Structure 1
Amino acid sequence: MSATRAVIDLDLPGARISRHLYGHFAEHLGRCIYGGFWVGEDSPIPNIRGIRTDVVEALRALQIPNLRWPGGCFADEYHWRDGVGPREERPTMVNTHWGNVVEDNSFGTHEFLDLCELLGADPYISANVGSGSVREMREWVDYLTGVGASPMTNLRRANGREEPWKVPFWGVGNESWGCGGNMRAEAYADLARQYATYCRDHGDNKLYRIAAGANSDDYSWTETLMRTIGGCGKGPLQGISLHYYTIAGDWDDKGHATDFSLDEYYATLAKANKIDELLRRHSTVMDMFDPCGKVGLVLDEWGTWWNVADGTNPGFLYQQNTIRDALVASLHFDTFHRHAKRLTMANIAQTVNVLQAMILTDPDTNALVRTPTYHVFEMNTAHHDADSLAVHLLDAPTRDDISMVSASASTKDGTALISLSNLDAEESRPIVLDLRGREVSGHTARILSAKTPQAHNTPANPDAVAPQAFEGVTAHPAGLQLELPPHSYVTVSVTLS
């Protein structure tokens, strides 16, 4: 078998890979907030002001750059004033989107900002456009970031917070083409301009206002939005969003999270691979109206979506997470790095206990489980705010027109990180890293793999899929060489002279 050659010019850095491409998403959905992040101050589970200590510690290792909240579809039914002030006085509501459970608003604005400070993450707040008002969003911005004496800053101080928070990222609604109002693109685009106009910068807090963008391949939505909001820094919005989920089947039967065939495995990778086309074509539309590149593309919902786990509330979207999910993540990140010039942020759905989660918490034992996807995020932290390096793959095998090898690379602080995925479920693959332009004085490597693509972690076996040191990288006249096992993910860190 001839080796796949990955040609990398180490001295030709490209676009900066924003750390915000590794963002996260936490919605009031299932056990993401309650039982995931929030257990309350009286819980026997160790916590910091009601926030689970072990969850914070695990997520800090990922260097989470930003966290999106409170939704999702929940955002356009959420009224922020219900979640501030003494908890015992906060009104309750029914979460009609996700399971018809009672939302008691015990986790609200102050609790979320406390969580972000514990994580070291920038807050990304999705405001209510669907059932809210311009005034409601403006007052939320004023409450959080306002300075001086005003009705909202005085209310913030009365609720225990003297100094304003830094809250840079604001979503102007969510999925306004669907659960956020079932709007036409033209109607929403005008609303987005109006809402964004009344959300002001206060002090040194500069807002990055994100319009609710397209679903998957709805390029006409992006075109209408860009034509209306304008580009080159002349409009009131700094970004537009995009949502895309990976499934093996269709929306009525998305597939099983752990019990899947090889055909379903490859179908999943084919769906995940479509993200490259989506980013390329939406970027092309944006280029027409924003040739200066001032408006960022924000993929603020992405990830796998399977049928819910047996015996769980169908509205809670709880699913397991396997090697297959990890490879979907690695494939996405390689694509993100190639599109780093236009793509400014991405948020996986979701952080805890929902969809393609980083962490699963067991309601019976309170155990915390790091998923295979968690480990891909952790193995990629050196890509944060690094300069991308183009990777040219030669002689990579394909299946159904999809390369079975995925790769990306970046450089920062005298090192380079090379990420490699073998998407072939059955065959290993020899790789030659053809490293040009700079001398390599050392290397280390790690691998994430298991016996089958269905392998996953549980409370009884939390490290069934976990990174290990990889000793299989050796010298080659062109640079380095290695053999990628089937369905594996490897990162190679090289020291540059």
Structure 2
Amino acid sequence: MAKLVINNDKKMSTIAPEIYGHFSEHLGRCIYEGLYVGEDSDIPNVNGMRTDVVEALKEMKIPVLRWPGGCFADEYHWMDGIGPKASRKKMINTHWGGVVEDNSFGTHEFFELCRQLGCKTYVNGNLGSGTVREMSEWVEYITFNGVSPMADLRKQNGHEEPWKIDYFGVGNENWGCGGNMRPQHYADEYRRYQTYVRNYAGNDPIAKICCGPNVDDYEWTKKVMETCFDHCEPRFHGMMDGLSLHYYTLPEVEDDWNKKGSATDFTEEIFYQTLKRGYFMDELINRHGAIMDEYDPDKKIGLIVDEWGIWTDVEPGTNPGFLYQQNTMRDALVAGMTLNIFNKHSDRVKMACIAQLINVLQSVMLTDGEKMIKTPTYHVFHMYRHHQGATLLRSDLIGAGTVGAGKNELPKVIESVSENADGVITVTLTNNSLEAAENVTIQLTDDGAAYGVCEASVVAGTMNAHNTFEAPEVVTEQAFADYEKTADGIRVQIPACSVVSIRLKK
């Protein structure tokens, strides 16, 4: 039997709500058909935004949304997406599927979507093929509340008041699709471009996100941090608020990027291999964080994991450039495990965006015409929403052992614990075993006998269980009752292949 010791008198970092963020790119059916159907659609909508999707995202408590990319961002010219829709420029989306992008979803539509969702905005600017002036004028168009050419143009296009940009990404993957740059060159470009991302009077400061590394490119992190800090004024922290990290869990790929493995048809060995690769996120945060500590020991600059999740082969018969894949209990476990890792690193990780929101990669929803289903990953995010804005508590898991074998070995149970402003403690655990349940006794070091379970839920199923439009509730969040209060603490039996949330209150 394992033991989870919670030091509930040991308050640690705040878990930023933005850790539970999401990513929407002009890719496949994420924007069009997924989020936006147009004002004239027969599918119920408000100003073109799907009502069913918006309501489900609000229920999940989405905190922040990143747009317009991704690789698309560094080919996106924002003026193509404003003004009357009939006269907006059309283009070929050369990155994703070779389809026509008609720019009917642009700046106004994005901010309308975020208004309906009640979430923060994360706009990714075009450094790769754009200009400093273009980026600067976009920020002016969105945020300036005064007389200027861009503010006047916004008003002419029907929006009198400015919007708020909470986060602004200066380029995306500039080591690759965003320009194939060397780290020193990108860092110099970042310094120049971010200078003109203005904080206009009366606005809250825009948090500026610098393009960080791809996976384990520690040299990129080192050289970008070094270059950005070189010959800079003491007010440098106004120059960079976050450094991004991208890491996708690729189930099978070794040498051939085009063979990542099926989303639903995989072996037990591949299951554990996938989870172990997901668990690599912990090492990435530790090692990149250590480099950041050399320049930013006070952790004022957040590590922003704004692209993460499982990336498999597309579903048979779909456009390979649309990256449409199914979503199983394997995805749910990777999501739960990764979010627990982010929580436990919340002193450094300040935002994360799973890729992507809907119909693309490890999405939380899938749509087919007027139909919409929630994926296992959705139910994990819904379960974990109680961690948002709560305080991380010190927790130590003893005796749970490991699963997998050899290079695929990883901890059997991964947890995180937080306490909210009302004193409610949320414990989330993943049981990464396919075969065996795990008995865990939860012990609190401060007045533990006074606590009882006030709410509990579970997401569970076989490793490849998933929801379809014909059977939309194969995997859902269910009430959980397999616990009891004992003299030693609260004993919980976590089912095999499951994610469990236990909430404790005096």
Query: Contact 2:143 / 2:203 at 8 angstroms: preserved in 1?
Result: no
Letter in 2 for 1:20: E
Match of 2:242 in 1: 239
In structure 2, what is the Cα distance between the partners aligned to 1:438 and 1:97? Answer: 56
Deviates more, 1:440-449 or 1:455-464: 440-449
Aligned mate of 1:382, from 370, 382, 386? 386
Shift of 1:152: 0.7
Say whether 1:263 aligns with 2:269. yes
3-state SS of the aligned residue for 2:278?
Answer: helix
Distance in 2 (alpha carbons) for counterparts of 1:427 and 1:253 = 31
Give the equivalent residue in structure 2 for 1:155. Answer: 153
The number of aligned residues is 491
Give how far 1:299 is off: 0.3
Residue correspondence of structure 1 range 461-476 to structure 2 within 5 A? 461-476=471-486
Q: Which moved more, 1:317-326 or 1:289-298?
A: 289-298
Could you say which residue in structure 2 is the equivalent of 1:219?
Answer: 218
Partner of 2:18: 20
**Offset of residue 13 of structure 1:** 1.2
The equivalent of 2:371 in structure 1 is 367
Distance 1:124 1:8 in 2: 34
Cα deviation code 1:240-259 (max 9, x no counterpart): 10000001111231111000
**Deviation of the 1:397 alpha carbon:** 1.5
Query: What amino acid is aligned across from residue 386 of structure 2 in structure 1?
Result: A
- The AA in structure 1 aligned to 2:61 is Q
Whole-Å Cα distance in 1 between the matches of residues 304 and 447 of structure 2? 33
Residue 465 of structure 1: how far off its partner (Å): 0.4
Match of 1:357 in 2: 363
CA-CA distance at 1:125 after TM superposition: 0.5
Give the conservation status (yes or no) of the 8 Å contact 2:452–2:485: no
Q: Does 1:483 align with 2:493?
A: yes
Contact 1:445 1:473 in 2 (8 A): no
- Cα deviation, residue 292, structure 1: 2.2
2:413 equivalent in structure 1: 405
CA distance in 2: counterparts of 1:308 and 1:112, whole angstroms: 27
Deviations 1:346-400 (A, max 9, x none): 000000000000000013xx21000000000000111001000122111112134
Could you tell me which residue of structure 2 aligns to residue 456 of structure 1?
A: 466
- CA-to-aligned-CA distance 1:210-236 (integer Å, 9 cap, x gap): 011100000110011111222985251
Letter in 2 for 1:200: R
Tell me how far apart the structure 2 counterparts of residues 488 and 63 of structure 1 sit (CA, whole Å): 22
Q: Check whether the contact 1:435–1:478 (CA below 8 A) recurs between aligned residues.
A: no
RMSD: 1.1
Q: Secondary structure at the residue paired with 1:11?
A: strand
Shift of 1:427: 1.0
Partner of 1:194: helix, strand, or coil? Answer: helix
Please, what TM-score do these two structures have when normalized by structure 1? 0.97
Q: Shift of the alpha carbon at 1:482?
A: 1.4
Give the aligned partner of residue 343 of structure 2: 337
| Match in the other structure for 2:444 | 435
CA contact 1:83–1:107 (8 Å) conserved in 2: yes
Q: Distance in 2 between matches of 1:436 and 1:291?
A: 30
Aligned counterparts of 1:205 and 1:419: Cα–Cα separation in 2: 34
Aligned-partner Cα distance in 2 for 1:85–1:27:
21
* The one of 249, 252, 255 aligned to 1:249: 252
Instruction: Give the match for residue 102 of structure 1.
Output: 100
Q: Please tell me whether the aligned partners of residues 474 and 482 of structure 1 are also in contact (alpha carbons under 8 angstroms).
A: yes
Query: Does the residue aligned with 2:213 lie in a helix, a strand or coil?
Result: strand
Distance 1:476 1:197 in 2: 59
Distance 1:21 1:233, change over 3 A: farther
Which of residues 429, 433, 437 in structure 2 aligns to 1:424?
Answer: 433
Name the CA distance, whole Å, in 1 between partners of 2:357 and 2:235. Answer: 32
Residue type of the partner of 2:102? D
Structure 1 Cα separation of the partners of residues 41 and 401 of structure 2: 52
Q: Residue 273 of structure 1: CA displacement? A: 0.4
Q: Does 1:275 align with 2:277?
A: no
* SS, match of residue 315 in structure 1: helix
Distance 1:233 1:466 in 2: 48
Q: Cα–Cα, structure 1 residues 125 and 483, in superposed 2: closer, same or farther, change >3 Å?
A: same
Unmatched 5+ stretches in structure 1: none
2:134 is equivalent to residue 131 of structure 1: no
Distance of 1:254 and 1:373 partners within structure 2: 19
CA drift at 1:441: 3.5
How many Å apart are 1:328 and its aligned residue? 0.1
Cα displacement (A) at 1:108? 0.5
